[in-house]
Amino acid sequence: DAGVIQSPRHEVTEMGQEVTLRCKPISGHNSLFWYRQTMMRGLELLIYFNNNVPIDDSGMPEDRFSAKMPNASFSTLKIQPSEPRDSAVYFCASSYAGGQGTGELFFGEGSRLTVL
Amino acid sequence: AQSVTQLDSQVPVFEEAPVELRCNYSSSVSVYLFWYVQYPNQGLQLLLKYLSGSTLVESINGFEAEFNKSQTSFHLRKPSVHISDTAEYFCAVSTYTDKLIFGTGTRLQVFP
């Protein structure tokens, strides 16, 4: 079975440019999470969706960040305009919350973003 | 709100030695507890979990963790580590709402 698929795996861009990260969750999963990992701050939850609806976006750093989930098989995380401090590895994860959360997440391999 | 504290940022150990990675949590409600492992340039993978029942849980590769409610701990142990266990290990907690909160991670470095 295919796992969580993220693209691109690596992105190098210049400050001020728009960045779009993509995620395809595991088929049948109804929760999707975006995390950011840096050396300084560790693993931070940015936003999560349940049944395509954003449930908690309190971790989104600022208005430059936005996330969408137009359907159950696709999500995007957009940064506009990007800044050097956005450089990090961004992970997408999915799970099945069948009415009783257990927190078992399945992670993609991450998108490594470098903003020059 | 829940929180997780991993007391050691790095743990160096020689191959075949025992190891313990410490994790403490804080929560006012019942929790589920997890250990995830991250190998270099990869995403996180579930290592083991405690949902209910027996307080001692085991992974397929020899790790175990014990849920201690009175001490609010979920320490990870292995009696004999291998070079291939070198990775970063994350403790995590969630509640009924399915939101997972991670600790800051412990880098386990196994030396020959």
Greatest mean pLDDT among A1-5, A45-49, A61-65, A72-76 lies in A72-76
Q: Which residues of B touch A110 (CB under 8 A)?
A: 42-43
How many alpha carbons fall within 13 Å on the CB side of residue B5?
A: 8
Is pLDDT above 50 for A99?
no
Per-residue pLDDT of A39-67, as tens digits, reads: 888 889 999 899 999 988 989 988 999 99
Contact B99 A45 (CB under 8 A): yes
Taking the C-alpha atoms of residue B15 and residue B110, their distance in angstroms, rounded to an integer, is 6
Instruction: Please give the pLDDT value at position A2.
Output: 81
**b (16+ CB within 10 A) / e for A94-112:** bbbbeeebbbbbbbbbbbb
Residue of B46, B98, B105 with shortest CB distance to A97: B98
Q: Which residues of B touch A45 (CB under 8 A)?
A: 99-102
**Region B42-50: what's the mean pLDDT?**
90
**Among residues of chain B, what percentage have pLDDT more than 90?**
63
Is residue A60 helix, strand or coil?
coil
Strand partners, A93: A33, A107
**Region A99-116: what's the mean pLDDT?**
82
**Among residues of chain A, what percentage have pLDDT more than 70?**
93
DSSP conformation class of A17: -
**Region B84-95: what's the mean pLDDT?**
92
Residues B25 and B32: beta-carbon distance below 8 Å: no
Is pLDDT above 60 for A81?
yes
Is pLDDT above 80 for B1?
no
Q: End-to-end distance of chain B based on CA atoms, in angstroms?
A: 41
Q: CB distance from B61 to chain A under 8 Å?
A: no
- Under the banding of pLDDT at 50, 70 and 90, the label for residue A103 is low
**Mutation site for B-interface testing, chosen from A6, A43, A91, A109 by largest number of B Cβ within 10 Å:** A43
**Mutation site for B-interface testing, chosen from A5, A36, A105, A112 by largest number of B Cβ within 10 Å:** A105
What count of residues does chain B have?
Answer: 112
Taking the C-alpha atoms of residue B96 and residue B22, their distance in angstroms, rounded to an integer, is 24
Contact B98 A95 (CB under 8 A): yes
Instruction: Please give the pLDDT value at position B97.
Output: 60
Contact B46 A105 (CB under 8 A): yes
Contacts 24+ apart (CB under 8 A), A40-47: A42/B102, A42/B103, A42/B104, A42/B105, A43/A91, A43/B44, A43/B90, A43/B102, A43/B104, A43/B105, A45/B99, A45/B100, A45/B101, A45/B102, A46/A77, A47/A77
Residues A41 and A28: beta-carbon distance below 8 Å: no
**Among residues of chain B, what percentage have pLDDT more than 70?**
97
DSSP conformation class of A112: E
Is residue B84 helix, strand or coil?
helix
Cβ-Cβ contacts under 8 Å for A27 (sequence gap 6 or more): A1, A2, A73
Interchain CB contacts (distance < 8 Å): A and B: 65
- Under the banding of pLDDT at 50, 70 and 90, the label for residue A1 is low
- Reported in sequence order, the residue ranges of A27-101 that DSSP labels E, i.e. its strands, are 31-38, 42-50, 53-56, 65-71, 74-79, 88-95
